[in-house]
Chain A
């Protein structure tokens, strides 16, 4: 599940990149789009003296656990491992096929069961594949709002590949562009600083970031009411 993208020495430091792929087959064009983005990011990172450590979450392998979690709130072992992968990642490439003019249900379900605060300020490249170019806006119109809700830092370049794009050099350019945005954002320490300096200013609830969200806030009206005060 883990490999290191090629890059020249000297290595100064390591960043973690997580791939979430909802591709239905193995290999899938959805995973391929993600892999090309990772490869581009690996090269760009290497040039900056950064080694990218890449972990892949194949949602296909978690399909049963995802539906179980949707219906019973019970997270299986594989899902818990995926959550940990995302929690510790410095950046994410999230890639899904388009079905019926929307992201794969598996993809949507996976992000719906994550704790609300898990991905705050994380850099994310959004990517989708489809059989026709008519689905091109799915990334911006349907995927972006989900990641806005999760308060991630989505990269300005969306990746979309329909059948004809795979032979078009323009796709490579867009991949390169998105990868650069991602590496710069990951390298900027933006997420870390937001979490260190401003974590408390986001709305949290108990368990909203898998237990890492925050200390329990005692200075609130409800806590005062709990301790015999007035509502």
Chain B
């Protein structure tokens, strides 16, 4: 039995707890009400601000380009939420690294990073909705190499003032500078989301980025293998020990004061949920997947088992607003999650944590890693030459040795 001697929420703490939304607009099966896009977008803001109010650390939003989803422009939503909050870290679940131009990702998320004062990161995913690819001029059959190549470019765009680049999928870049440069010249932290692709785990490990397994649907053994591989490769590339790799996990929860109420209230939503509705029994699904349905204590106990399977990890996100659950219910869920579940989890996870396991990365910690106590770089552009470009050394402190091959004018 775990004691419920609560500790206050910690900011920028060892482990981050939060919620993620796929932005689905789904009919509430108990009332037959389908929210409008306007309702659901406002609800997303209400959910995010409530997440901060109840002491959660992270709000992440998905990216979709088709109904019944609303989140086609995540940085706009997240920037708005950033302006309404003070501590919450804004993230994505996921940002499409395949159908988005990596140049646009670099620009948009750097802009968000500035406006959010560094309270953001992003999770990259490939997206598995086949029709979306051609809408953006891409081919789903090339999804994996496309995503890998795009990230290789994105990684450089945030770290090099001037990029010359040529790849298989995108127009070459000559003397390109992605603006604005990241806040404090420290790139946003990147999580690579994957449920079945070792190449994504490899890329996360190679760059020393985070790896996020949304292990909602499949048995834990599958993900244990993928996360173990990521940890091994993280160590192989010299970023630290296997225990020091940065792991995030998805989950979903429905909480009520007692177990029976939780099952009764959640069942109609589960039974008609997109993806797994009309399929497994709720009890079977809850027993065999990370779905936690029950009292706060039951959700706590189940979440603590994740650590036993996957090792100490840095970020736990729950899906709590899908399948037509109305805003009021979601806000009640947040009260229980932030009020009763997460405070205990913070304490229990911290007590169990191995020595040497790093905290969840934040902008502040990454600035510290890069600069120590020195002042962060603040890039100031050189004067416009009159042709709207600033040459091979676009910033006053850009290495003079950088000589980009600019296009002929």
Question: Interface of A with B (CB < 8 Å)?
Answer: 68, 71-77, 80, 206-207, 211, 216, 218, 221-223, 225-228, 230-231
Contact = CB atoms under 8 A, between A and B. Distances in A.
Contacts, number: 72
Interface in B365-385: none
Given A72-B275, A206-B198, A231-B169, A226 B148 contact: yes
Contacts of B197: 206
B144 interface: yes
B160 to A, nearest CB: 13
22 contacts: A71-B278, A72-B276, A72-B280, A73-B217, A74-B217, A74-B276, A74-B280, A74-B284, A74-B285, A74-B289, A77-B284, A77-B288, A207-B222, A211-B225, A222-B144, A225-B145, A225-B199, A226-B199, A228-B152, A230-B168, A231-B167, A231-B169
A231 B198 contact: no
B376 to A, nearest CB: 26
B229 interface: yes
A146 B279 CA distance: 25
Contacts of A228: 152, 155, 206-207
B200 interface: yes
Interface of B: 144-145, 148-149, 152, 155, 167-169, 196-200, 202-203, 206-207, 217-219, 221-222, 225-226, 229, 275-276, 278-280, 284-285, 288-289
Contacts of B198: 206, 216, 223
Given A76-B280, A225-B148, A226-B200, 14 more contacts: A68-B279, A72-B276, A72-B280, A74-B217, A206-B197, A206-B226, A207-B222, A222-B145, A222-B199, A225-B199, A226-B206, A228-B207, A231-B148, A231-B149
Given A227-B206, A231-B148, A231-B167, A76 B226 contact: no
Given A68-B280, A72-B275, A227 B203 contact: yes
Contacts of B149: 225, 231
A206 B196 contact: yes
- Rank and list the top 3 A-B pairs by shortest CB-CB distance, nearest first: A72-B279, A226-B203, A231-B168
Q: In terms of DSSP, what is the predominant structure of the interface of chain B?
A: helix
A74 B200 CA distance: 23
A204 B199 CA distance: 14
A222 B285 CA distance: 34
Nearest to B167: A231
B275 A211 contact: no
A71 B276 CA distance: 8
Contacts of A73: 217-218
Contacts of A221: 145
Nearest to B155: A228
A226 B199 CA distance: 6
A113 to B, nearest CB: 13
Contact of A226 (B168, B202, B221, B279): B202
B273 to A, nearest CB: 10
Contacts of B276: 72, 74
Nearest to A228: B152
Nearest to B148: A225
Contacts of A75: 219
Nearest to B200: A226
Contacts of A223: 198-199, 202
A77 B152 CA distance: 41
A221 B144 CA distance: 11
Contacts of A71: 278-279
Contacts of B169: 231
Nearest to A72: B279
A218 B229 CA distance: 11
Contacts of B278: 71
B79 to A, nearest CB: 30
Contact of A225 (B152, B221, B285): B152
A209 to B, nearest CB: 12
Given A71-B278, A222-B144, A227 B202 contact: yes
Q: Which of B167, B196, B284 gathers the greatest number of chain A CB atoms within 10 Å?
A: B284
A217 to B, nearest CB: 8
Q: Which of B148, B206, B219, B276 gathers the greatest number of chain A CB atoms within 10 Å?
A: B148
A76 B196 contact: no
